[in-house]
């Protein structure tokens, strides 16, 4: 009954929009229901975040673990459940914040977990409680959103199932979550120092690719100064094993939380049927391998229909950048073969890393599933074009949007706007476009003219907004990098992709308004553009940024505000930094 009371109590605090009579009837009915029929269970987690020595790819280094684990514990929930995470920061000398990637935080914008945007960071020794509702089924993630901590191992999976009695439009026998990642041996502070230095020191390519937190670095590599930090016989870095029963169908929830790399994932000899992307059902299509960008999640169906007398490789490979990182490997193990029996075949090498047309074609093939299509508004109220450029400011290398490099303020935007702290950030609106006619996206620009700012875009509540992401050349000749962009607090319709410079007159005529997929993360391909549409209907302040750790750290991001006056009273637990240090609220 304790759980029942808690569930009803939550409904009372956040009641649906019912007449008073219906609301009373709702409360009475809820109070006599058994726990098996109550919607919205409460799932309570207690996590401790701290540094520990781990060897995920055989190389021993400090990682940020949750309850001693990286990846951290998976959140397994059902649509409508309330998630409560009591997070203790035991990093001793370092702040922390966790973002619940793909969870829209409707009614709880302060739980988005974005330091500098929706909350002050959690100080060493403090415990902070996140509380939010997972309002729809799908595959989601959580990860650090303070500095570059994500790449230190602070991340995990969120799996939300459909309500009881609801069927999904596909069937499978087993459900597994797999996170793909890249892995650096240098710590985040060393990397951040190089990125912030003059001359600029790039982080380089990652040393390993991890599959569900496991990889294999060559311990005999000459780059190692000491061999005692690397042990190839350590069982903790043996390949991750996906054990399957012959003839059964598996739903693999494939997610990427890479710091830098775009990846291609495949299972040797097996087809994959894509059925879900970022929590939305996809019109099924069959592929041999899946291109996946940091922050994206996909569900694929794989049938164990190959020769069961042997095991197979599951492999991740770098795409879109010239690979300098070995293939990430896991074992697709047919029961009852020994799970540690390595396949005798050569691991898959994936498609050509620089085949942009192939990657764009796969992006274009992702459509909303028939019967589950929520059509977008036929037109937008506002169009914001974001040119992604690499720049320099006073000799420091930065990334920028429309030649403005983003900086987080000391006072989080949600607090500053709600409490009317107008001096906390730049009130000048950022640019909504760039010099479309004269800017050559294929040319290495001088780009020494950028500025930095912490200004934000103010969106009219309930308005429809189009975002055009335009890619261009970096400060290296003949180089344009793929950028995965993630929007907090929303899903958006992906209206189209294209190569070259976006034409504001002709290209909108080609938009897919019939069955566009909805996502929260999307790539903008090399020298290409991506068009998005969303409705600004979630009161709060939301980050929109490149999901590559170094790129966002170096300024590739923006922030949207919408309907902040509709946000309820802010909890005092999110305060304590910037201009909120003196706040003393109950």
Helical pair 20-32 and 2-13, crossing angle rounded to 10 deg: 170
Phi, psi angle pair for 382, to nearest 5°: -155, 140
Q: How far apart are CA 219 and CA 237, in angstroms?
A: 12
Provide the CATH number for the domain formed by 168-372 in this structure: 2.60.40.420
The first and second tokens of residue 354, run together, are 């620089």
Q: Fold for domain 382-580?
A: Immunoglobulin-like (2.60.40)
Q: How far apart are CA 88 and CA 128, in angstroms?
A: 7
Question: Which residues, in sequence order, are CB contacts of 366 under 8 Å at separation 6+?
Answer: 274, 277, 282, 285, 494, 517
pLDDT given for residue 146 in this prediction: 96
Say if residue 210 is preceded by a cis peptide, omega within 30 of 0. Answer: no
**Chain mean position to CA 117:** 16
Given the candidates 2.60.40.420, 3.20.20.80, 3.30.470.20, 1.20.1270.30, the CATH classification of the domain at 39-164 is 2.60.40.420
CB 560 within 8 A of CB 457: yes
pLDDT given for residue 239 in this prediction: 95
pLDDT given for residue 40 in this prediction: 80
* Residue 24: its H or E element: helix 20-32
Beta strands in 186-311 (DSSP E): 208-211, 241-244, 249-256, 262-267, 272-277, 280-287, 289-292, 297-303
pLDDT in tens, the chain (586 residues): 343 333 333 332 333 333 333 333 333 333 333 333 346 899 999 999 999 999 999 999 999 999 999 999 999 999 999 999 999 999 999 999 999 999 999 999 999 999 999 999 999 999 999 999 999 999 999 999 999 999 999 999 999 999 999 999 999 999 999 999 999 999 999 999 999 999 999 999 999 999 999 999 999 877 665 567 999 889 889 999 999 999 999 999 999 999 999 999 999 999 999 999 999 999 999 999 999 999 999 999 999 999 999 999 999 999 999 999 999 999 999 999 999 889 999 999 999 999 999 999 999 999 999 999 999 999 999 999 999 999 999 989 999 999 999 999 999 999 999 999 989 999 999 999 999 999 999 999 877 778 999 999 999 999 999 999 999 999 999 999 999 999 999 999 999 999 999 999 999 999 999 999 999 999 999 999 999 999 999 999 999 999 999 999 999 999 999 999 999 999 999 999 999 876 654 4
DSSP state of 491: -
- Distances in Å between the alpha carbon of 182 and those of 57, 376, 527, 549, 567? 10, 35, 24, 11, 37
* CATH 2.60.40.420 domain range(s) in the chain: 39-164, 168-372, 382-580
Phi, psi angle pair for 297, to nearest 5°: -130, 140
Q: How far apart are CA 155 and CA 382, in angstroms?
A: 35
Global pTM reads: 0.91
From 441, 433, 535, 552, select the one nearest 486 (Cα to Cα): 552
The first and second tokens of residue 92, run together, are 């001793």
The first and second tokens of residue 583, run together, are 């706040």
pLDDT given for residue 39 in this prediction: 65
From 301, 77, 57, select the one nearest 185 (Cα to Cα): 57
CB 274 within 8 A of CB 266: no
DSSP state of 430: P
Phi, psi angle pair for 497, to nearest 5°: -125, 155
CB 202 within 8 A of CB 196: no
- Alpha helices (H) in 483-565, listed in sequence order: 549-553
The first and second tokens of residue 248, run together, are 């059964």
The number of beta carbons lying within 10 Å of the beta carbon of residue 341 is 13
Say if residue 199 is preceded by a cis peptide, omega within 30 of 0. Answer: yes
42-54/82-89 β-pairing: parallel
């Amino acid at each position: 009954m304790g759980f029942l009371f808690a569930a009803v109590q939550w409904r009372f605090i956040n009641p649906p929009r019912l007449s008073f009579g219906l609301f009373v009837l709702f409360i009475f009915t809820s109070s006599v229901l058994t726990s098996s029929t109550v919607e919205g269970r409460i799932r309570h987690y207690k996590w401790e975040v701290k540094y520990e020595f781990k060897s995920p790819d055989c190389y021993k280094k400090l990682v940020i673990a949750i309850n001693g684990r990286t990846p951290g514990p998976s959140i397994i929930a059902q649509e409508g459940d309330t998630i409560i995470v009591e997070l203790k920061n035991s990093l001793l000398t370092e702040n922390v914040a966790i973002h619940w990637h793909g969870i829209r935080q409707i009614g709880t914008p302060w739980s988005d977990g974005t330091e500098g945007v929706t909350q002050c960071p959690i100080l060493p020794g403090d415990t902070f409680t996140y509380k939010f509702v997972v309002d729809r089924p799908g595959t989601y993630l959580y990860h650090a959103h303070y500095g570059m901590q994500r790449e230190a191992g602070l991340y995990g999976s969120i799996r939300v199932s459909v309500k009881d009695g609801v069927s999904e439009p596909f069937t499978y026998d087993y459900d597994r979550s797999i996170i793909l990642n890249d892995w650096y041996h240098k710590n985040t502070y060393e990397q951040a120092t190089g990125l912030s230095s003059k001359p600029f020191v790039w982080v380089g390519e990652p040393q390993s690719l991890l599959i569900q937190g496991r990889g294999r670095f060559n311990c005999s590599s000459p780059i190692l100064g000491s061999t005692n930090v690397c042990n190839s016989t350590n069982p903790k870095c043996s390949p991750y094993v996906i054990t399957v029963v012959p003839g059964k169908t598996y739903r693999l929830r494939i997610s990427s939380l890479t710091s830098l790399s775009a990846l291609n994932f495949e299972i040797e000899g097996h087809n994959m049927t894509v059925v879900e992307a970022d929590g939305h059902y996809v019109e099924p299509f069959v592929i041999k391998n899946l291109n996946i960008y940091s922050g994206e999640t996909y569900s694929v169906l794989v049938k164990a229909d190959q020769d069961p007398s042997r095991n197979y490789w599951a492999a991740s490979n770098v795409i879109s950048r010239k690979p300098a990182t070995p293939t990430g490997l896991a074992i697709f193990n047919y029961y009852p073969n020994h799970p540690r029996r390595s396949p005798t075949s050569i691991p898959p090498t994936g498609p050509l890393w620089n085949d942009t047309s192939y990657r764009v074609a796969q992006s274009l093939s992702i459509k909303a599933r028939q019967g589950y299509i929520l059509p977008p508004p036929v037109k937008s109220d506002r169009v914001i074009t974001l040119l992604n450029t690499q720049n320099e400011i006073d000799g420091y290398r930065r990334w920028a949007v429309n030649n403005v490099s983003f900086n987080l303020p000391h006072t989080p935007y949600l607090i500053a706007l709600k409490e009317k702290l107008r001096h906390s950030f730049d009130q000048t609106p950022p640019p909504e476009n760039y010099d479309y006619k004269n800017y050559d996206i294929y040319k290495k620009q001088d780009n020494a003219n950028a500025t930095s700012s912490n200004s934000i875009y103010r969106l009219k509540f309930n308005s429809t907004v189009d975002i055009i992401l335009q890619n261009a050349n970096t400060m290296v000749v003949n180089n344009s990098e793929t950028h995965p962009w993630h929007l907090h607090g929303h899903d958006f319709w992906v209206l189209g992709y294209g190569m070259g410079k976006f034409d504001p007159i002709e290209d909108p005529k080609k938009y897919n308004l019939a069955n566009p997929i909805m996502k929260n993360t999307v790539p903008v391909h090399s020298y290409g553009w991506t068009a998005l549409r969303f409705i600004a209907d979630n009161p709060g302040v939301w980050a929109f940024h490149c999901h590559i750790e170094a790129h966002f750290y170096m300024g590739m991001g923006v922030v949207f505000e919408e309907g902040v006056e509709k946000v309820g009273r802010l909890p005092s637990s999110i305060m304590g930094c910037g201009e909120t240090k003196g706040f003393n609220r109950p």
